[in-house]
Structure 1
Amino acid sequence: MRRTTDTTDSTAARAAAPADRPEGSGGAGSPGRLRALVEAEYGGIGGGYVNTATLGLPPARTAAALRGALDAWAAGRPDVAAYEAAVAASRAAYARITGVAVERVALAGTVAGSVGLIAAQLPEGADVVVAADDFSSLVHPFAGRPGLSLRIVPLAEVASAVRPDTALVAVSAAQSLDGRVADLPAIRAAATEHGARVLIDGTQSVGWLPLAPDMYDYLVCHAYKWLLSPHGACFLTVREGLEATLSPAFAGWYAADDPWESCYGPIADLAPGARQFDARPAYLSFVGAAASLSLIEEVGVPAVNAHDLALAARLRAGLTALGRTPVPGDSAIVAVPGMPATAPARLQQAGVRFAARAGNLRFAFHLHNTEADVDLVLNALG
C-alpha cells in the first residue's frame, strides 16, 4: 500500500474511478451511442484536425481532470493520494486495453528510455533486427549500444530476416512514416522458430489496432497519440518470466515494493513483476491518462478500429479517384507521396491540420473525426 498524507477528494480521484471495470468489458455498443459519446467529449472541436499520429486530442473528461488537478495544485492543495489513484487506474486500464495482467505493466517516461532498458542487457554481439525507417526512439537505443549487431531491413522482410542467432526483433506495429502495419503474426512465428524475442512499439497503434498479447515479449507505448493522453504517460509491458532480461540498475524509488518506505538509500525490495521497472510517474500526465483511457475502454478498441479504418478507407478511395496513389494498407494512418508542392498550402488554407513526413503528406483519423473531415481534405486537394 503506497502511503500518502493527503486524502482530499479531487477531479484526479474521480478520473481514476474506471479502474474497477472488469477486464474485457467496455464498448459503446450501437453506432448511435458511439456518436453521442464522442459528441459529448469532442462536440466543441472544429473540424479539420486529422493529425492524431502526431498528437492525440484530449476528450472533455481529460481536460476537466487536468484543469481540476492544476487548479488544486496552484491553490496549495495538491492531492497526492488522488494522483496515486490516477496512476493505478491508468496502469490497470492500459493492461485491460492490451489484454495483459496488470502485473505485466511498468510505468515509463519515454519510448527511448524503455527501449534502452532492453538494449542495455543484450549480450555482446547480439543480433537485433529492425525495420528501415522505423521511428528513431525504437531504433537508436540499439544503434547507440556498443557491441550489438544491428540489421536494418525493409519492413516487409523483417520476418524473413530472423535467423538462429537473432536475439531480438524490434518493430513498430504501425509505422509513423506512412502508416504501414507490420505482419506481426509472421514476425512472431519467425521469432518463435529461432528463439528470438519480440519488442513492439505500439505508440502509433495501441488504441485503434487490436494487438494480441502473444505477439510480443515487450510492448512499449507512449500514450500521447491514439490513447489521447498527455506526454509523459508511457507504458512498458514485460512478458512473465522475462524480468531477468532487464537491468535493475535503472530502478529508482518508485520501483520498490513499497515506494514510500524506500525513498532513501538502496532499495531493499523491488516490486514484483514488471512494476520493478517503474519510472517515477509524472503525476499530472497520469491524471490525464486515467481519464483518456477510460474513454478508450468505454468505446472499445474494436469500435475505434472500425471507425478509424472506415474514415481512412474513404480518404484512400477519394485520393485514388483524384489520380493520387496513397500508401496501400488497412491503417488509420494515410500517407500520400508525390503530392504537388502547392498541396500543403491548399490544405492549410482549408483549415486542415495534417503532417508532412519524408516526402509524404500524412493524415490520421481518430474518434473525433467524421466523414466531413475526409471530405474537407479531398475538396482541398481536388
Structure 2
Amino acid sequence: METFENLVRAEFAPKSTFLNTASSGLLPARTVTALTEAARLRFEGRPLDTLFADVEAARASFARLAGVPVTRVAAGASVAAHTGLVAASLPAGAEVLTAEDDFTSVVNPFHVRGDLKVRAVPLERLAESVRPGTALVAVSAAQSADGRIADLPALREAARAHGARTYVDFSQAATWLPMQADAYDYTVSVCYKWLLGPHGAGFLVVPEDFGGLTPILAGWVAGENPWDSCYGPVTEPAHSARRFDLPPALFTYAGLRRSLALIEELGVDAIRAHDLALADRFRAGLAELGHEPVAAPGSAIVSVPGLGHRQPALSEAGIEVSNRAGNLRASFHLYNTAADVDRLLDVLSG
C-alpha cells in the first residue's frame, strides 16, 4: 500500500521551493500526461467526443469532495461567471452583504448590477452584520490576501435566522478546509489552486431546487440532451445543475479528472493535517525570527506584514511565494515538506 509521501513523490517534482499554491497549484504527473494525450487527439485529427466523459468524472469527483449529490454541481470556468449567475437572480434593490477587501470575483458582479445594495463589513463582523432584509451573504471561506478564515458556522446560523441565502467561495480553502457544501445555498471553487487542476475549470453547487437561478449563460451543453440542443433555443434544460454549465474546456477537464482522483486517493483529512502542520511550523519559525503574521489560525495560508518586498529576492533564490499588499504570503500544500519551510525561514533570517 502506497503511503502519502510515496504517492506525492511519484506525482510531483518541483524545480523550486514552491510555496505559492494560493496563486496556482502544481500539476500532478498524471494530469500532465492526460493533458498531453488530450492535445494529441487534436494534433492527430481524432474525435474529441470521448473527453466529455472526463467532464462528468471530474464533476462526480468534485461532488464527493463537496459532500453533495452530483446533480447539484454545475461545471464552469471561473468564480466570476458563477457569481454573475447568482447576481443576476437577485431582484432590484436586494441587499448583498460582503466582507471588506474580499477577492474581486466574489464581489464585483454584485456591484456592476448597479441596482443592488452591496454592503461590505470587516470579515470578523460578517455574521453579526446579517440583518432583516439581507438577501444574500457572499464571502470567501479563506481570504486570498492573508488566509483568514470566515466563521462559516456563525454565518450560516445568522443567515438562516434572517432568511438570507449564502454564497461561499472555497477556491482558497478546498482540501485543507472541509467544503461541506450542503450547509450553504451556493458554493463555488476554481480548480487550479488547491485542487491541482489546469486553469479553465470551476464548479458551482446549487440547491436541489436551483435556488431561483436562471440559466442565462446556458448553451447547447446545458440541454437535457446536449446533442439535440445544438440549434435554436434549448427547449429542455438539463434536469440537474448541468443546466447551468458553460461549454467545457475539454483538455482542462481531461487533466482535472486525474487531479481530483489523486486528491481522493490521498484523502482530504490527510491533506489537511499535512498542510496545516507545515503552516504552523512556519508560524513558529516566524515567531523565533521576531515576525508576527496576520492572525489566521487553522489556515494553510500565512501572510507576513512588511515582508512582501522580499518576494523578488526569494524568487531569485528559488523560493516561490507572493507579495500581497506589502505582505509576504506563503501557502502550503501536499507537495511541500518541512525542509521547504525551513529553507524559507533560513533565507528570511538572512
TM-score (norm 2): 0.97
Which residue identity does 1:45 align to in structure 2?
P
The match for 1:80 is 49
Residue 267 (structure 1) shift: 1.1
CA distance in 2, matches of 1:249, 1:100: 24
The match for 1:324 is 291
The CA deviation string for residues 222-254 of structure 1, in whole angstroms up to 9 with x for no partner, is: 10100011111110100112x251113322111
Is 1:41–2:41 an aligned residue pair?
no
Which residue identity does 2:160 align to in structure 1?
T
The match for 1:66 is 35
The answer to whether the Cα contact below 8 Å between 2:85 and 2:216 also exists between their aligned partners in 1 is no
Partner SS state of residue 303, structure 1: helix
Which residue identity does 2:302 align to in structure 1?
V
CA distance in 2, matches of 1:315, 1:155: 24
Is 1:134–2:99 an aligned residue pair?
no
The CA deviation string for residues 49-93 of structure 1, in whole angstroms up to 9 with x for no partner, is: 000000010001000101111122212124312x01100100000
Comparing 244-253 with 197-206, greater Cα deviation is found at 244-253
CA distance in 2, matches of 1:376, 1:297: 29
The match for 2:268 is 301
The answer to whether the Cα contact below 8 Å between 1:346 and 1:380 also exists between their aligned partners in 2 is no
CA distance in 2, matches of 1:230, 1:349: 25
The match for 2:131 is 163
Which residue identity does 2:115 align to in structure 1?
G
Which residue identity does 2:316 align to in structure 1?
Q
The answer to whether the Cα contact below 8 Å between 1:224 and 1:230 also exists between their aligned partners in 2 is yes
CA distance in 1, matches of 2:38, 2:121: 46
The match for 1:3 is none
Residues 253, 196 of structure 1: alpha-carbon distance in 2 compared, 3 angstrom cutoff: same
Is 1:50–2:19 an aligned residue pair?
yes
The answer to whether the Cα contact below 8 Å between 1:109 and 1:233 also exists between their aligned partners in 2 is yes
The match for 2:154 is 186
Residue 340 (structure 1) shift: 7.5
The match for 2:334 is 367
Which residue identity does 2:278 align to in structure 1?
L
The answer to whether the Cα contact below 8 Å between 1:130 and 1:158 also exists between their aligned partners in 2 is yes
The answer to whether the Cα contact below 8 Å between 2:75 and 2:244 also exists between their aligned partners in 1 is yes
| Match of residue 196, structure 1, among 164, 186, 190 | 164
- RMSD, matched Cα: 1.3
CA distance in 2, matches of 1:164, 1:186: 16
The answer to whether the Cα contact below 8 Å between 2:188 and 2:203 also exists between their aligned partners in 1 is yes
Is 1:102–2:67 an aligned residue pair?
no
The answer to whether the Cα contact below 8 Å between 1:174 and 1:182 also exists between their aligned partners in 2 is yes
The answer to whether the Cα contact below 8 Å between 2:308 and 2:329 also exists between their aligned partners in 1 is no
The CA deviation string for residues 117-165 of structure 1, in whole angstroms up to 9 with x for no partner, is: 1101101110110001100011100011121000000000010110010
| Unaligned stretches of 5+ residues in structure 1 | 1-28
Residue 94 (structure 1) shift: 0.2
The match for 1:8 is none
The answer to whether the Cα contact below 8 Å between 1:47 and 1:373 also exists between their aligned partners in 2 is no
The answer to whether the Cα contact below 8 Å between 1:202 and 1:219 also exists between their aligned partners in 2 is yes
1:12-23 superposed matches below 5 A: none
CA distance in 1, matches of 2:69, 2:214: 21
Comparing 64-73 with 295-304, greater Cα deviation is found at 64-73
The match for 1:312 is 279
Is 1:260–2:230 an aligned residue pair?
no
CA distance in 2, matches of 1:138, 1:181: 15
Is 1:92–2:87 an aligned residue pair?
no
Residue 105 (structure 1) shift: 0.1
Which residue identity does 2:246 align to in structure 1?
A
> How many residues align structurally?
348
The answer to whether the Cα contact below 8 Å between 1:184 and 1:215 also exists between their aligned partners in 2 is no
1:338-353 superposed matches below 5 A: 338-339=306-307, 341=309, 343-353=310-320
CA distance in 2, matches of 1:345, 1:151: 36
Partner SS state of residue 219, structure 1: strand
The match for 1:12 is none
Partner SS state of residue 123, structure 1: coil
Residue 45 (structure 1) shift: 2.0
CA distance in 1, matches of 2:331, 2:89: 35
Which residue identity does 2:14 align to in structure 1?
I
Comparing 311-320 with 210-219, greater Cα deviation is found at 210-219
| Match of residue 249, structure 1, among 216, 223, 229 | 216
Which residue identity does 1:211 align to in structure 2?
M
The answer to whether the Cα contact below 8 Å between 1:170 and 1:199 also exists between their aligned partners in 2 is yes
Is 1:288–2:255 an aligned residue pair?
yes
CA distance in 2, matches of 1:282, 1:348: 31
CA distance in 1, matches of 2:230, 2:199: 25
Partner SS state of residue 356, structure 1: strand
Which residue identity does 1:289 align to in structure 2?
L
Residue 359 (structure 1) shift: 1.4
The answer to whether the Cα contact below 8 Å between 1:346 and 1:381 also exists between their aligned partners in 2 is no
